Chains A and B, each alone.
Chain A
Amino acid sequence: MEYKIAVGTSEGIQVDLKFGEAAFFQIYLADENGFRLLEKRQIKSSSPDGKTLLSGCDGYSEKEKLFGGSCEGCTGNGHGCGAPGDIADKVNLIGDCRCIVCKKIGFQAVRQLERKAISVFDVDCSVNDALNKITSYYTRIDSGMKN
């Protein structure tokens, strides 16, 4: 079974980008035989002035400036309760992936990803290492399901 993995990496060697600060994700295509780089997905900004927002808690102060203060509860941004727009955009961007690998990720984003059944791996290691472990894990799970 083929599936996609989103990775937060700047040069494709180390998992070195935090979910919030990543301006793009590398998308890998994987199956039981291995994985390969498929594409690079750039994050499109959704803020009014075209500026890319910082996500999660870090982004709150800036967001408050942009949206006039309130960022609690339903802000009417069209992305559901409590989900800052930039997080929702990023989650949508990698919505077709089975999991996301990045250096760090905020609680808010994890919740959003979990709702779409996207697994989160926040690890500090090389891309190869991470993908080897994850693909062998998925291969085992999938072969177990078939039996």
Chain B
Amino acid sequence: MAKLLDKQRYKCALGAMQSVQAIQRALPILHSGPGCAQKLCESVGSSGYFSPNIFPCTSVNEKDVVFGGVKKLDSTIENALKVIDADLYVVLTGCIPEIVGDDSEEVVSRFADSRKPVIYAPTAGFKGNNYKGHEQVIDAIVNQYLKKTDKKQKGLVNIWADVPYQDLFWLGNIREIEKLVSELGLIPNTIFGYQRGIGQINKIPEAEFNLLISPWVGVSSMKNMERKLGIPFLHYKTLPIGATETSRFLRTVGEYAGVDKEITEEVIRKKEDYYYYLIERYADIFLENRVINKQFTVVSDAQYVLGITKFLVNDLGLIPAKQFVVDDTPNKYREEIKEEFKNLNYGIKADVSFETDGYKIHEEIKNHDYHGYPLVLGGYYEKEVTEKLKGNFLNISYPVQDKVVLDNFYAGYAGGIRLIEDIYTVAVSRFN
């Protein structure tokens, strides 16, 4: 039976237009109803050379539902190619044309000979949320644009992390992970963000391997690339935050890429030295047990719930209450992800629930005994319930209302420090 979703935390698959937008000089062409882009975009860093307000759109109406919208799509693509100077045009379809049965793929194939590449990703809302849409966009690039090559660049590694714009810290995170990987002597290649565009996409097939850092988003795309381009992949499930996980991450990547162990350990030693120097200086605040809450809950998508839970347990020694994964993780990945939560230091296990209904989550938070004030890291929806419980709240994931993030990040050693700063800023302000 159809039901209402209370407090949704993701968008429809057409939200993948933001993944396209994150690729510099790549333009989404929307085959959708008027207003789709307006509803899906948020003014969080989405203006620039292209912004959702100028994305070409077929604005399908009743007539196109009855008579089909392929003519309109054809002319929209044709004119977008004439009017807008982009490097890559990605046609994204919304619900209406997919239900009506427009053969958008056929229309796009007419532009195979155009000067600039035009590709097509089916992103109808009923196919899934924008996490799935993101995968569709990557698949479209791989299947329709890239060609397998025997030319390989030594040490080149494609890095894939979570979904741009959906993840508040996407830009900072991926840059930080790039930095870490390059310190191992590898050459990182990513396609999202500043100065990452068609040039980086062209380099994808030359990579030695793909590195995916995400619990589940992108796994199917990695498998697709393995098949189509012959690039093997390393799947690292946890977003590395803080020293424990980042060191483990570097060792795993180093070992997989065949990096000299001594080089890896030297990088880790240097990074950890500085990390623990900072922790040591503020030891009094960490050891003062009245400052921080006894138990915490993370309400977010799988990558942050897993990453932050591991960080808070392994690095800060906090005790996890129930954790909530709200990204509608497909069933086939859930068991694997649950296993990761049993894999914490000091034999600690975290209870995790895959729940999209905000009401149920809030009821559980209200009914749990946090042995004091709770620490809740989540979307803005959790602010009110945390305030009612007199707890400490930090907005770390979608939806974001009380934070402006330009290129801040939580990944890596430095990211762990940033997160500590943010959490303790909230915690100590209670005493002022």
Within 8 A of A (CB), among B59-93: 62-63, 65-67
CB nearest to A137 among chain B residues: B66
* Bound CA–CA A125/B68 (angstroms): 13
**A120 touching B65, Cβ below 8 Å:** no
Which residues of chain A have C-beta atoms less than 8 A from B62's C-beta? Answer: 119, 121
Total count of chain B residues near the partner, CB < 8 A: 5
Q: Check A122 for interface membership: any CB of B closer than 8 A.
A: yes
- Say whether B63 contacts A123, CB under 8 Å: yes
What are the residues of chain B within 8 A of A134 when measuring CB–CB? 66
Any B CB within 8 A of the CB of A51: no
- Find residues 34-93 in chain A having any chain B CB closer than 8 Å to their own CB: none
B66 touches A120 (CB 8 A): no
Give chain A's interface residue range (CB within 8 Å of chain B). Answer: 10 to 19
* B65: contacting residue among A122, A130, A137, CB under 8 A: A137
Residues of A within 8 A of B (CB): 119-123, 125, 130, 133-134, 137
Chain B residues near A (Cβ < 8 Å): 62-63, 65-67
- Complex CA gap A133/B67 in Å reads 7
Main secondary structure of the interface of A (DSSP, over half): mixed
Q: Collect the chain B residues with CB atoms within 8 Å of residue A137's CB.
A: 65-66
Kindly provide the distance from the CB of B59 to the nearest chain A CB, expressed in whole angstroms.
13
* Min CB gap B70→A, angstroms: 13
CA A134 – CA B63 in complex, angstroms?
9
* Min CB–CB distance B68 → chain A (angstroms): 9
B residues less than 8 Å from A122 (CB atoms): 63
Main secondary structure of the interface of B (DSSP, over half): helix
Sample (17) of A-B pairs whose CB atoms are under 8 Å apart: A119-B62, A119-B63, A120-B63, A121-B62, A121-B63, A121-B66, A121-B67, A122-B63, A123-B63, A123-B67, A125-B67, A130-B67, A133-B66, A133-B67, A134-B66, A137-B65, A137-B66
Using CB atoms, name the residue of chain B closest to A125.
Answer: B67
Q: How far is the CB of B239 from chain A (nearest CB, A)?
A: 44
Q: Cβ of B65: which chain A residues have Cβ within 8 Å of it?
A: 137
What residue in chain B is nearest A99 (Cβ atoms)? B62
Add 14 more A-B contacts to A122-B63, A130-B67, A133-B66 (CB < 8 A): A119-B62, A119-B63, A120-B63, A121-B62, A121-B63, A121-B66, A121-B67, A123-B63, A123-B67, A125-B67, A133-B67, A134-B66, A137-B65, A137-B66
Chain A residues with Cβ below 8 Å from B67 are 121, 123, 125, 130, 133
Chain B residues lying within 8 Å of A123, measured Cβ to Cβ, are 63, 67
Compute how far the CA of A119 lies from the CA of B62 in the bound complex, rounded to whole angstroms: 8
Distance A121 CA – B67 CA, assembled complex (angstroms): 9
Min Cβ gap B98→A in Å is 16
A28 to B157, CA, bound (A): 65
B63 / chain A contacts, CB cutoff of 8 Å = 119-123
Task: Kindly provide the distance from the CB of B218 to the nearest chain A CB, expressed in whole angstroms.
Answer: 37
Q: CA A125 – CA B67 in complex, angstroms? A: 10
Closest B residue to A134 by CB, please name it: B66
Cβ distance B99 to chain A, nearest Cβ, rounded Å: 11
Q: Which residue of B lies closest to A138 (CB)?
A: B66
Q: For residue A125, which residues in chain B have a CB less than 8 angstroms away from its CB? A: 67
Q: How far is the CA of A119 from the CA of B65 in the complex (A)?
A: 12
Closest chain-B Cβ to A102's Cβ sits at a distance in Å of: 11
Tell me the complex Cα distance, A143–B189, Å: 54
> What's the minimum C-beta distance from B331 to chain A, rounded to whole angstroms?
30
Bound CA–CA A130/B63 (angstroms): 11
Docked Cα-Cα span, A125 to B62, in Å, equals: 17
Q: A122 to B62, alpha carbons, bound, how many Å?
A: 11
Tell me the complex Cα distance, A123–B65, Å. 13
Cβ contacts under 8 Å, A120 to chain B? 63
Closest residue to B63 on the A side, CB-wise?
A121
Query: For A121, what are the chain B residues with a Cβ–Cβ distance below 8 Å?
Result: 62-63, 66-67
A123–B63 Cα distance when bound, in Å, is 8
Q: Cα distance A32–B276 when bound, in Å?
A: 76
Residue of A nearest to B62 (CB): A119
Q: CB-nearest residue of chain B relative to A130?
A: B67
In the bound complex, how far is the Cα of B65 from the Cα of A137, in angstroms? 9
Q: How far is the CA of A134 from the CA of B65 in the complex (A)?
A: 10
Which residue of chain A has the shortest Cβ distance to B68 in the bound complex?
A133
Quote the shortest CB–CB distance from B97 to chain A (angstroms): 15
Q: What is the bound-complex CA distance between A134 and B64, given in angstroms? A: 11
* Bound complex: CA A121 to CA B65 (Å): 10
Q: In the assembly, what is the distance between CA of A92 and CA of B51, in Å?
A: 42
Which residue in chain B gives the minimum CB-CB distance to A123? B67
**How near does chain B come to A13, taking the closest CB pair, in angstroms?**
18
- Nearest-neighbour CB distance to chain B for A36, whole angstroms, equals 20
CB of B102 to closest CB in A, whole Å: 14
Question: Complex formed: what's the CA distance from A133 to B101 in Å?
Answer: 14
- Closest chain A residue to B66, Cβ basis: A137
Question: Distance in Å from the Cβ of A95 to the closest Cβ of chain B?
Answer: 18
Give CA–CA (A123, B67) in the complex, Å: 8
**Closest Cβ of chain A: how far from B363's Cβ, in Å?**
34
